[in-house]
Structure 1
Amino acid sequence: MGLVEEISAMRGGSGHAGRLLGEFRRTALLVPLSTDDDGGLMTGWRGGVRWIYAFTDEDSLARFAHARGAGHREWEYLAILGARLVDAVIPAVDGPTGVAVDVADEDGSMLFPPVVGIVPDACAVDAEPDVAEAV
């Protein structure tokens, strides 16, 4: 199964968290670049967490662009493995950061929050203090 199918299974109650996370880590995701001067990845804030927007395909990204009223312009994006996002990008970001996949797809979206088992322990909001400091 691919990531979209794993998300569907999880949302339908028949998924397995380990398979979902494994597929997320193996999938090349499309991450739009920010239109700000910083040129970084496009993110949003919700609940005190910075969420990196990531999409499973160009159609999902296009739905997101359309929902933001910006479907008329071309969106630049980076293709990056989910594993690289959580293992390399998130540790470089200040503050709690997770990944929001296909956020414009009401029945197909999934959040990968900054918790132990998803992001490195040093970046996880639920890590034991001595574990996070040891990394």
Structure 2
Amino acid sequence: MGLTEQIVAMRSGMGYSARLLGEFRRTALLVPLPEGDDGGLMSGWQGGVRWIYAFTDEDALARFAVARGAGAEVREWEYLSILGARLVDAVIPTVDGPTGVAVDVADEDASMLFPPVVGIVADAYAVDAGLDRADAV
């Protein structure tokens, strides 16, 4: 089962978080690059967290572009193909502040957030690291 199917299973209550996270880490995701030459990855802010936008395929990325109003524009979006594991293990540690990954955010029933918490990102970058487990629930 691929990442999209794991997300759908999890959202329907039939999935397993360990399988979802494993598939996320193994999947090559498409991460759009913002216009300009700042060398970053396209992201947005919500709830005090920076969310890096990532997509499971070019169709999902295209739906995101249309949702952002780029449908009328005739231009290609540049993107980076990167494993989910590399994104959370190597990229997130280079970003200032809490950072997670938002997968397929334009797909209402097939999107998933991978927040900056223990088990997803390294403990040093997790917002819940060091909390007593009773406090984290």
Structure 1 unaligned regions, length at least 5: 130-135
Q: Following TM superposition, where does structure 1 have runs of at least 4 consecutive aligned residues deviating by more than 2 angstroms? A: none
Q: How much has 1:24 moved relative to structure 2?
A: 0.1
Stretch deviating more after TM superposition (31-40 or 115-124) = 31-40
For residue 118 of structure 1, give the secondary structure of its aligned residue in structure 2. Answer: coil
Return the match for 1:93 from 86, 95, 102.
Answer: 95
The one-letter code of the counterpart of 2:101 is: V
TM-score by length of 2: 0.92
Identical aligned residues as a percent: 82
Return the match for 1:105 from 104, 107, 132.
Answer: 107
Return the match for 1:121 from 116, 120, 123.
Answer: 123
- The 5 A counterparts of 1:57-76 are 57-71=57-71, 72=73, 73-76=75-78
2:33: which partner in 1?
33
Provide the rounded CA distance (Å) in 2 between the counterparts of 1:54 and 1:87: 15
Provide the rounded CA distance (Å) in 2 between the counterparts of 1:36 and 1:115: 31
Provide the rounded CA distance (Å) in 2 between the counterparts of 1:33 and 1:83: 19
Q: Show CA shifts across 1:68-121 (max 9, x none).
A: 011322100000000000000000000000000000000000000000000000
TM-score by length of 1: 0.93
The one-letter code of the counterpart of 1:96 is: P
Q: Show CA shifts across 1:13-56 (max 9, x none).
A: 00000000000000000000011441310000000000000000
Structure 2 unaligned regions, length at least 5: 132-137
Aligned length: 129
